[in-house]
């Protein structure tokens, strides 16, 4: 039996996940225009950027200025990402920056050390302090992330029990403080997930916290992104991170070079939801336009599919037959 949701809410991360992976920093006016275009698509959450070390991620150095530049649509939650106190302090200087306030669980030491210079357990212990700091500052966490929830390029396979154990810790913190549980997000940071494993781990987390909403943050590194989303939808998951045009991957740097891939492509997944009768509140045609705008800014073909092939709207309305699409069989 399937348990598809009626509505799926997307968190658009292309401007952060995508542009942080590009070798150059694009003009802020272009990024602001892209976010403004995204703001008119019906998206309810858009990530503007991250507040991380500008020496390590120079593409995100002007995130606060970008945040100030964009036109704020009152129906959209604009989110920022930080990984340490310094980033958080910078975020706290702008109004509306606390509407995301994520908690972050690392599941391997190797990745925790690389990304935050702490072990996974040290990072876990810090989440208590983060939660209390957020509360003191009037912020409330909207998401609890378990990163590399299926496996880690640096630390190897990650067991289901490791995922459950991290969320158990998070749930304990919220229950101790008599706070409602925010959505629990499984992040396939490095593209290790496959659809049956997606279903199993969602099932395990749901068993742990039947009252919690579950979200997914998936990367389409090995071609299973869409199948993983479909598997998650069949489990009733209604919260998805995505990137327009499938941004987030390395450029096509060389034919034999390894290239990591980006997040699941938001508009392709919106297309899937709509084809399945699941509402998203998003105007797909406007999303496609925004993706083409991203492609124009970046200046090379991006990985999104429906942005290039077009949706089925025109065909269904009997308007355009695309001769280029003919092939046999």
Q: What is the rounded distance in angstroms from the CA atom of residue 264 to the CA atom of residue 185?
A: 15
The site string for a second copy over 248-287 (x = CB under 8 A, - otherwise) reads x-x-x--xxxxxxx---x--xx-xx--xx-----------
Whichever of 2 and 95 has its CB closer to a second copy, that residue is 2
Q: What is the rounded distance in angstroms from the CA atom of residue 266 to the CA atom of residue 307?
A: 10
Beta bridge pairs of residue 151 = 157
> Cis bond leading into 95, ω under 30°?
no
Which range of residues in 26-34, 64-72, 200-208, 295-303 is near a second copy by CB under 8 A?
295-303
Whichever of 37 and 73 has its CB closer to a second copy, that residue is 37
Q: Identify whether the C-beta of residue 63 lies closer than 8 Å to the C-beta of residue 51.
A: yes
The two three-digit tokens of residue 167, written as one number: 């969320």
Which range of residues in 16-24, 33-41, 89-97, 121-129 is near a second copy by CB under 8 A?
16-24
Minimum CB distance to a second copy, residue 98 (Å) = 18
Whichever of 21 and 208 has its CB closer to a second copy, that residue is 21
Q: What is the rounded distance in angstroms from the CA atom of residue 102 to the CA atom of residue 217?
A: 13
Find where tokens 């998206």 sit: 43
Pairing of strands 156-157, 151-152: antiparallel
Distant-in-sequence, close-in-space partners of 83: CB < 8 Å, separation ≥ 6: 50, 52, 104, 115, 116
Whichever of 12 and 197 has its CB closer to a second copy, that residue is 197
**55 belongs to the binding site for a second copy (CB under 8 A):** no
Whichever of 7 and 252 has its CB closer to a second copy, that residue is 252
Which range of residues in 66-74, 162-170, 204-212, 297-305 is near a second copy by CB under 8 A?
297-305
Minimum CB distance to a second copy, residue 74 (Å) = 27
Query: Considering only residues 116-175, where is the footprint of a second copy by CB under 8 A?
Result: 145, 147, 151, 153-154, 156-157
Q: Is 192 helix (H, G, I), strand (E, B) or coil?
A: coil
Q: Identify whether the C-beta of residue 71 lies closer than 8 Å to the C-beta of residue 46.
A: no
The two three-digit tokens of residue 78, written as one number: 């604009």
The site string for a second copy over 24-53 (x = CB under 8 A, - otherwise) reads --------------------------x---
Q: What is the rounded distance in angstroms from the CA atom of residue 11 to the CA atom of residue 17?
A: 12
Which range of residues in 33-41, 64-72, 165-173, 306-314 is near a second copy by CB under 8 A?
306-314
Minimum CB distance to a second copy, residue 176 (Å) = 24
């Amino acid at each position: 039996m399937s348990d598809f949701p009626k509505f799926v809410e997307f968190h658009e991360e292309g401007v952060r996940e995508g542009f942080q992976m590009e070798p150059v920093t694009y003009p802020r006016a272009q990024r602001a225009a892209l976010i403004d275009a995204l703001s008119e698509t019906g998206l309810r959450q858009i990530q503007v950027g991250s507040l991380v070390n500008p020496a390590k991620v120079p593409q995100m150095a002007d995130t606060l200025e970008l945040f100030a530049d964009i036109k704020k649509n009152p129906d959209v939650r604009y989110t920022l990402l930080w990984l340490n106190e310094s980033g958080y302090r910078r975020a706290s200087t702008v109004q509306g920056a606390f509407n995301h306030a994520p908690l972050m669980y690392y599941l391997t030491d190797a990745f925790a050390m690389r990304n935050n210079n702490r072990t996974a357990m040290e990072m876990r212990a810090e989440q208590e302090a983060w939660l209390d700091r957020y509360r003191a500052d009037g912020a409330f966490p909207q998401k609890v992330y378990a990163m590399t929830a299926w496996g880690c390029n640096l630390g190897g396979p990650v067991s289901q029990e490791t995922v459950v154990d991290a969320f158990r810790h998070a749930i304990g913190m919220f229950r101790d403080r008599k706070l409602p549980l925010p959505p629990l997000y499984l992040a396939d940071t490095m593209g290790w997930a496959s659809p049956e494993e997606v279903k199993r781990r969602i099932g395990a987390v749901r068993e742990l916290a039947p009252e919690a909403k579950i979200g997914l943050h998936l990367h389409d590194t090995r071609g299973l992104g869409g199948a993983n989303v479909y598997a998650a939808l069949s489990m009733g998951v209604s919260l998805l991170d995505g990137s327009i045009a499938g941004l987030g991957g390395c450029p096509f740097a060389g034919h034999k070079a390894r290239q990591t891939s980006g997040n699941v492509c938001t508009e392709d997944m919106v297309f899937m939801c709509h084809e399945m009768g699941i509402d998203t509140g998003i105007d797909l045609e406007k999303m496609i336009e925004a993706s083409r705008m991203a492609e124009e800014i970046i200046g090379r073909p991006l990985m999104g599919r429906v942005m290039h092939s077009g949706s089925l709207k025109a065909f269904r309305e009997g308007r355009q037959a695309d001769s280029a699409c003919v092939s046999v069989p």
